[in-house]
């Protein structure tokens, strides 16, 4: 199995996949919201590891480290989904910091609310319903925009333009997602994937997902107005399979 060694601008780092930690089982008499949270997060972690080959908690920690949080930071997580990324910034941005998670789906926002409640951080995170293609924030008002395991489901050009608009000069965009291989894998695998999500998982957004290559991402980010673009590959099983990468860009 080959390891990708040329997919980044400033170097590739392959990580060991032998660090595992099982979550503690819910204790007798535990709050039902906490029990739900534990089981829900365990499923997300399992799906993430199956899909990317990465250990969930370690990957999340690397994403937050790459974000370089600081006291007073204004963070926007798009789309926030279950709020797992937004929650990681609690305690890292200080009392004057602001953490906002947005999503278009009421069901996802309810999951994020319950998870924040379980983690006892619901007072530190703002959850808002809004379209990700039209961010209702003033120009130059945000320090960091994050998008984790979701970029392939977004309207790429529109989202990048909006992210650049709301960021302050010197603000950063951090994307963590799968990238398409530079070597084409043909249409059969893509057709099978779309059919699986459309007919079995009943997830139309994932069925219609668009994965971009490193070169495509570079071009779109530059066109949106970003500079100092860095790619860091965390995992790729072979050169003709999708990689999981961190992408940082500065406005």
User: How many Å apart are CA 199 and CA 193, to the nearest integer?
Assistant: 10
Work out the average pLDDT over 186-212.
Answer: 57
User: How many Å apart are CA 55 and CA 235, to the nearest integer?
Assistant: 11
Question: What pLDDT digit, counting tens, does each position of 37-71 carry?
Answer: 567 778 888 888 988 999 999 999 999 999 999 99
DSSP H helices, 89-186, are 106-118, 156-166
Q: Record the pTM.
A: 0.78
């Amino acid at each position: 199995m080959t390891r990708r060694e040329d997919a980044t601008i400033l170097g590739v780092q392959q990580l060991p996949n032998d660090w595992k930690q099982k979550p503690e089982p819910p204790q007798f008499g535990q709050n039902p919201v906490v029990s739900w949270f534990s089981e829900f997060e365990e499923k997300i972690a399992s799906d993430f590891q199956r899909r990317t080959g990465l250990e969930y908690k370690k990957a999340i920690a690397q994403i937050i480290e790459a974000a370089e949080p600081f006291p007073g930071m204004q963070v926007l997580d798009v789309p926030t989904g279950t709020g797992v990324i937004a929650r990681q910034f609690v305690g890292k941005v200080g009392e004057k910091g602001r953490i906002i998670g947005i999503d278009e789906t009421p069901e996802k926002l309810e999951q994020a609310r319950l998870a924040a409640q379980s983690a006892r951080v619901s007072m530190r995170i703002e959850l808002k319903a809004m379209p990700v293609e039209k961010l209702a924030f003033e120009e130059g008002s945000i320090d960091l925009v994050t998008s984790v395991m979701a970029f392939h489901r977004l309207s790429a050009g529109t989202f990048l333009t909006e992210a650049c608009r709301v960021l302050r000069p010197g603000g950063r965009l951090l994307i963590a997602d799968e990238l398409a291989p530079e070597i084409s894998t043909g249409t059969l695998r893509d057709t099978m994937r779309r059919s699986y999500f459309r007919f079995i998982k009943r997830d139309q957004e994932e069925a219609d997902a668009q994965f971009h290559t490193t070169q495509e991402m570079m071009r779109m980010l530059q066109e949106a107005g970003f500079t100092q673009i860095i790619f860091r590959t965390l995992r790729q099983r072979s050169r003709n399979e999708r990689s999981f990468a961190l992408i940082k860009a500065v406005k």
